[in-house]
Structure 1
Amino acid sequence: MSHGLLRAACRAAAVAAAAPYRSACAARRQRAAAACGWQQRRWWTSDRADTPGGPEKQPDPSDKALHEWDRSVSEAIAQAERELARQRGSGSADEKQGPGSAGEAQSPGSPGDAKGHRGSRPPTPDPNDGDRDDDYVVTLGRVMEGLPEQIEGFFEHGLDGALYADGIRFAEPRHSGVHIAGKSQYLGAARVLRIAMGAYFVHPRATIVRMRQLPAAPDQDGDGNNNNNKSSNRAGVEVAVRWIFEGVPRHTQLLGGHVSRFEGEFRYAMDPRTGLVAVHEVTAIHPAPPTSFIASGLARWMGWATPRGSLSLSRRH
């Protein structure tokens, strides 16, 4: 046998003997590459979203704020519903006692029979009492004194219904387009707003900056004579109240607690016959609040609360 054939035979035998070793090495390299790739993919996807669309999108702070506000409004509606149900339950319990049980505590000739027994409800002024100038002045003075306490103490104790007329009208035409008519609707919407603001903000507070009486409307006759007309003497009693609201949104407490600040102005018009608040209008708010959620919250509240009155959410541009 020649030397060439011998070398070829030896090479073939060596290759055949090394084949299992080569296969084992290739398998180990594949397993190592797979493990390395898995670790690399694990590291790469740790900061990525579960979907293959790319990196995880950071939440928008404005979307989170609107979500928190919507949740606060929903909780406020539920709490207001429970409070209203308790009030209705207590009112029905008082009615079941009957008028005779209330009248037993007074003799037929007692002075309380002239006005009637009102139970535990606070006395409210008689609408006919406004026909007398002295009662009108007293009621108007009580309202003017109570309005600052109503605004600055709104988030602690809410509104006092004795200061507002039965046909009160509320309007915020510049941003939300909310129009409310009726005392029950007005007080109910104020209750929902108070609970929602207390749930959304930490220690919300309102401070009065200035309160002034607006000039009365000119006399239509033009001669300045009122011809002893009492309604003309009482017409045009309006006040403007400038205020500042401050509060820290609860969802920003972990980020330093940024204070939200709004400035605005209210216009109140008094009933010329009773002296009670007949018109409440929001004439200015800066900066513009997210009123879409306020309007939607009031609309949801109107879904279950149906007292006398009306609510309009028509937006005006």
Structure 2
Amino acid sequence: MKIVVTGGAGFLGSRVIAELLRRQDAGDLTVDFDHIVSLDLAENTNDDARVRSVVGDLADPDLLAQTLGDDTVAVYHLAAVLSGGSAENFDLALRVNLDGTRGLLEAARRAENRPYFVFTSSLAVFGGQMPEVVTDTWAEQPDSTYGAFKAMGELLVNEYSRKGFVDGRICRLPTISVRPGKPNSAASSFASGIIREPLNGIASTCPVPHGTRMWLSSPNAAVANLVHALEVPGEDIGPWRGMNIPGICVTVEDMLASLERVGGSEARALVTDEPDQQVMDIVCSWPGEFDVERLVNLGFVRDENFDDVVRQYEREFVARA
């Protein structure tokens, strides 16, 4: 039996694969598998013999048919054109984020054993006038191309699950901070950049007002929750499979204060304000806080505070002299 991970060579995908392997080795993963297939535009660099890379286009139905099969026990669908890229290229976002998701669901539908289908969605499915704290029952009203296609993907996953074709789990992830590496095309990329770059002695700019509320998760918490989503009984999730994955609510000013406490005034001084209306139009339309008590009771985790998140990044990724 195998697990297929789209976007498996990417930041989150590669870490989800590593955590699935670690949990299997520890003997505390309830879903059994023999190997993991990473489906991406690049190869996964994990040298574990249980990992196999398939390099190709998610929107290629023949490739999906060849990659999935009756031995697929679960699918993690992480691949997507991100928010900034979706805003710039509608047709690409349509082909990958919507058509690719439907094609993957169709390939999973043809498997005989009703595979789990973990779909990473986004805060971008919300918009318009929202309460201070968004609840499980708040309806999607996306204000961006990325959010619109993610909302459509959610409806598809839920319908395929309702029909019994897959066992869907929709994970609306918080903004991940702090991501190592280089900036990506996400409108929220600055949420890592204003921490990551200064801790490495590099100047960074903040494109949004300091009072902007952000719903954030460390990479470690996000990966733990994505793996946990595979194991939560469907009846505990309920008939609507959308879940607002736990995070912490902090303002950009809070984030910069954490940067200064961890990295010092020199690091904080490397962040300057450079308002970007396109980024503000996207990010400032997202909710800043969610009621996640139900999911915490289902075993999902959240970070304690943003200082610890910054320290986690500093310990793991900041070069020492």
TM-score by length of 1: 0.26
Greater RCO structure (CA 8 Å; 6+ sep): 1
The structure where helix makes up a greater share of residues is: 1
TM-score by length of 2: 0.26
